[in-house]
Chains A and B, each alone.
Chain A
Amino acid sequence: MNHPLPPDTANEPLAPGQRLPDSERKEFSPEALVEIQAIMAKFPDKLAATLPALHIAQREFGFVSLAAMKAVAQAIGIPEGHVFGVATFYTMYQKAPVGRFHLQVCTNISCALRGAAQLLEKVCEKTGVKPGQGPSADGLWSVEEVECLAGCGSGPCVQVNHDVYDEFVDEKKLLEVMEACKRGDYRPWAK
């Protein structure tokens, strides 16, 4: 009888968590912990603090790394697996580093009818990065194609970091927005 060979561990795929890039930071700042405690106290169940805590983690760590998820689980006192499940469910938690200015272009139907596809190509051309590719060499830009930003009436719309800037963005407007980013007129992505 043939015995099965021992599993070849060298080529085994990594566990889901190990595939995520690592962040420099490993722990929350004391102020962030206070903030999370305050949120936990406000809601009837401490589990409700998961989403807000992940938002705080993204602000502190720059993106939601595995270390950030572990820190959230520890701060709230809930299983790490739960936090991993939540963090990977929602698209606004970036699981990889983004640039200082994260440009999110809506390409859904209303914006597409007004030229969002061409705008996204323009954004990629001007910044030199493609969606989902991570930040540009200078660390300034990253681009993401997103679903509806609720700016349908004034599309195509672009969100820079955390604010929606939606005034009928064309090439001229896009260059203005990028100039304004460099001047520092925009809310920064993370601390």
Chain B
Amino acid sequence: MAAIRTKPDPQIYTFPGFGTDKFPNLMLRGAGDLDNWHLKTYEQKHEGYVALKAALKLEPVAVVEEMKTSGIRGRGGAGFPCGLKWSFMPKDTADRKFTRYLVCNGDEGEPGTFKDRAILEYNPHQLIEGMIIGGWAMQCAKGFVYIRGEFLWLVEKLEAAIQQARDAGYLGKNILGTGWDYDILVYRGAGAYICGEETALLNSLEGRRGEPRVKPPFPAAKGAFGQPTTVNNVETLAAVPPILRMGGAEYAKLGTPKNTGTRIFGVSGHVKRPGLFELPLGTPMDFVVNELAGGSSTGRKIKAIIPGGASAPMFDEKDFDCPLDFDTVKARGSMAGSGGLICMDEDTCMVQATLRLIRFYAHESCGQCTPCREGCNWMEMVLHRIEHGEGRMEDLDLLASLTPRIGLRTLCPLGDAACGPMDSALQKFRHEFEHHITHKTCYATGSRLLSTVGAH
């Protein structure tokens, strides 16, 4: 077996007051400590596998009920209530037995998001424990963890951690005397952003091209290998042990009534202290950016923030006070997505920033649906033209007319994701696009965002 990587990383995971009742430390426990992944440390320091032992004494239905009480919503992007998702799994009847699977989505590819990586690095056992509890609640036969291909060292670490759990009897045959057999397999992707979409992930897990499937049938009816499947994000599953330890009702007191619990926000871009901050949902965005991440690193004012990973429409100054929970962010015209805040200062050229984002979607479109495959490429070409001083005023109307023809017209949300940044940039920073067209140069004076040697 390959040696486990022990390279320290310079990421910031904490802030003053972290770990107190106001800012409970549920998922980033021990983050920053490279020895933390061992089973012994997890059991001794972080109440490891306590929740599992309690859960195995409960009926599976009771565990699902506890998750429903906690009100936790999926942390992957869509914010679907996790307990409800679990309850969709078909139950065995007298004449029909199902083979059910639980799949963990660790294909973290959304620009601006780097939370799952910290969980896998420092707390793999918490994820494993969450997956075993989830497996028990839905009576699954197997769990699969799909991890993006770039995280090779994390795949090795997780496999080592799973082996430790197997040796301790938490996985395998007849787990802790319940007569229930369950095992977790790790699957490594190969570099496709689209595989973060649940049905594309299932295709990839089956060894196919990562192209999203037509829904229905939903994964709960026909998922991995044709069997009923639930797909949960790494962060959602890692939140399961704390929920069962403290009780669903207690967990529901964190955050706001319809957006319960804590979530890991990643702050990146032009801030002094970029890093991961675990906070109750509903924490205002300006508090996260100014107090925790230290505000602008360049000395210039922050002009735009993307509140939920690259797919979320941008916010400008007037929305910086937005509380970060699923509903409020949505009501203000963006989405909480995966919780990655990308901050851009005044000197950032929004045309370049938008072009960089759209280029990403054009590159990552799987090519299955015409509106997304062609539309993203056309948006990229038109933006490229504007950026290189060959734009025409009609191009802005052309861009605005493209997005309604892409959004909601594709199998998966990748097309919609590309429209978010495009629409919001055009709405909120139209003057920069116009300046580019009339003056043939950037409105902002910051350093270039696009390299001159790019292969794209």
CB of A55 within 8 A of CB of B10, answer no
Asked whether A51 and B112 contact (CB < 8 A) given A90-B210, A167-B9, the answer is no
Q: Give the residue of A55, A113, A150, A162 whose beta carbon is less than 8 angstroms from that of B113.
A: A150
CB of B112 within 8 A of CB of A109, answer yes
CB of B188 within 8 A of CB of A52, answer yes
A93 beta carbon closer than 8 Å to chain B = yes
CB of B269 within 8 A of CB of A117, answer no
In the bound complex, CA of A127 to CA of B108 (Å) = 29
Q: Which residues of B contact A113 (CB under 8 A)?
A: 268-270, 342-344, 348, 353, 449
Q: Which residues of B contact A52 (CB under 8 A)?
A: 187-188
- Nearest CB in chain B: distance from A38 CB, A: 12
A33 beta carbon closer than 8 Å to chain B = no
Interface residues of A in 34-60 (CB under 8 A from B): 42-45, 47-52, 54-55
In the bound complex, CA of A92 to CA of B306 (Å) = 28
CB of B109 within 8 A of CB of A109, answer no
- Most B C-beta atoms less than 10 A away, residue of A91, A147, A149, A155: A147
Q: Give the residue of B117, B142, B209, B356 whose beta carbon is less than 8 angstroms from that of A86.
A: B209
CB of A131 within 8 A of CB of B454, answer yes
- Nearest CB in chain B: distance from A34 CB, A: 16
Q: Which residues of B contact A49 (CB under 8 A)?
A: 207
Q: How large is the interface on A (under 10, 10 to 19, 20 to 34, 35 or more residues)?
A: 35 or more
CB of B449 within 8 A of CB of A117, answer yes
B453 beta carbon closer than 8 Å to chain A = yes
Interface residues of B in 146-172 (CB under 8 A from A): 148-153
CB of B342 within 8 A of CB of A109, answer yes
CB of A86 within 8 A of CB of B114, answer no
Q: Give the residue of A110, A124, A163 whose beta carbon is less than 8 angstroms from that of B5.
A: A163
B80 beta carbon closer than 8 Å to chain A = no
A63 beta carbon closer than 8 Å to chain B = no
In the bound complex, CA of A42 to CA of B144 (Å) = 11
Interface residues of A in 83-114 (CB under 8 A from B): 85-86, 89-93, 107-110, 112-114
B185 beta carbon closer than 8 Å to chain A = yes
In the bound complex, CA of A124 to CA of B150 (Å) = 22
B110 beta carbon closer than 8 Å to chain A = yes
B318 beta carbon closer than 8 Å to chain A = no
- Nearest CB in chain A: distance from B144 CB, A: 9
Q: Give the residue of A44, A51, A167 whose beta carbon is less than 8 angstroms from that of B225.
A: A44
B205 beta carbon closer than 8 Å to chain A = yes
Residue of A nearest to B310 (CB): A109
CB of B206 within 8 A of CB of A109, answer no
Interface of B is mostly: loop
In the bound complex, CA of A148 to CA of B114 (Å) = 10
CB of A130 within 8 A of CB of B455, answer yes
- Nearest CB in chain A: distance from B447 CB, A: 7
Residue of B nearest to A104 (CB): B150
In the bound complex, CA of A144 to CA of B149 (Å) = 16
Q: Give the residue of A92, A109, A118, A164 whose beta carbon is less than 8 angstroms from that of B447.
A: A118
A159 beta carbon closer than 8 Å to chain B = yes
B369 beta carbon closer than 8 Å to chain A = no
- Most B C-beta atoms less than 10 A away, residue of A52, A130, A152: A152
Q: Which residues of A contact B348 (CB under 8 A)?
A: 113
CB of A153 within 8 A of CB of B12, answer yes
Q: Which residues of A contact B208 (CB under 8 A)?
A: 47, 50, 82, 86
CB of B209 within 8 A of CB of A85, answer yes
- Most A C-beta atoms less than 10 A away, residue of B9, B188, B449: B449
Count of chain B residues near A, Cβ 8 A: 72
In the bound complex, CA of A117 to CA of B454 (Å) = 9
CB of B454 within 8 A of CB of A86, answer no
Residue of A nearest to B446 (CB): A113
Asked whether A120 and B360 contact (CB < 8 A) given A90-B189, A109-B449, A152-B111, the answer is no
Chain A window 124-141, contacts with chain B (Cβ cutoff 8 Å), 1 for yes, 0 for no? 100000111000000000
CB of B192 within 8 A of CB of A90, answer yes
- Most B C-beta atoms less than 10 A away, residue of A55, A109, A114, A149: A109
Q: Which residues of B contact A146 (CB under 8 A)?
A: 191
- Nearest CB in chain B: distance from A83 CB, A: 9
Q: Which residues of B contact A112 (CB under 8 A)?
A: 353, 356, 449-450
- Nearest CB in chain A: distance from B143 CB, A: 13
Residue of A nearest to B275 (CB): A153
Q: Which residues of A contact B275 (CB under 8 A)?
A: 153
CB of B210 within 8 A of CB of A89, answer yes
B77 beta carbon closer than 8 Å to chain A = no
In the bound complex, CA of A110 to CA of B7 (Å) = 23
In the bound complex, CA of A118 to CA of B12 (Å) = 25
Asked whether A51 and B5 contact (CB < 8 A) given A86-B207, A92-B149, the answer is no
Q: Which residues of A contact B142 (CB under 8 A)?
A: 44
Q: Give the residue of A45, A117, A148 whose beta carbon is less than 8 angstroms from that of B207.
A: A45
A121 beta carbon closer than 8 Å to chain B = yes
Residue of B nearest to A167 (CB): B10
Interface residues of B in 287-317 (CB under 8 A from A): 306, 310
CB of A155 within 8 A of CB of B5, answer no
CB of A154 within 8 A of CB of B205, answer no
* Partner-B contacts on A (CB < 8 A): 42-45, 47-52, 54-55, 82, 85-86, 89-93, 107-110, 112-118, 120-121, 124, 130-132, 144-155, 159, 162-168
Knowing that A44-B225, A50-B207, A145-B456 touch, tell me 10 more A-B residue pairs with CB under 8 angstroms.
A107-B450, A113-B348, A116-B451, A117-B450, A120-B454, A149-B150, A152-B266, A152-B268, A152-B342, A164-B150
* 4 closest A-B pairs by CB: A92-B191, A50-B207, A90-B190, A131-B455
Would you list 14 pairs from A and B whose C-beta atoms are within 8 A, ordered by A residue? Answer: A43-B185, A44-B225, A85-B209, A109-B111, A109-B306, A109-B353, A112-B356, A117-B447, A118-B447, A118-B451, A147-B111, A148-B110, A148-B113, A152-B111
* Partner-A contacts on B (CB < 8 A): 5, 7, 9-12, 99, 108-114, 116-117, 142, 148-153, 185, 187-193, 204-210, 225, 227, 266-270, 274-276, 306, 310, 340, 342-344, 348, 353, 356-357, 360, 363-364, 366, 447-456
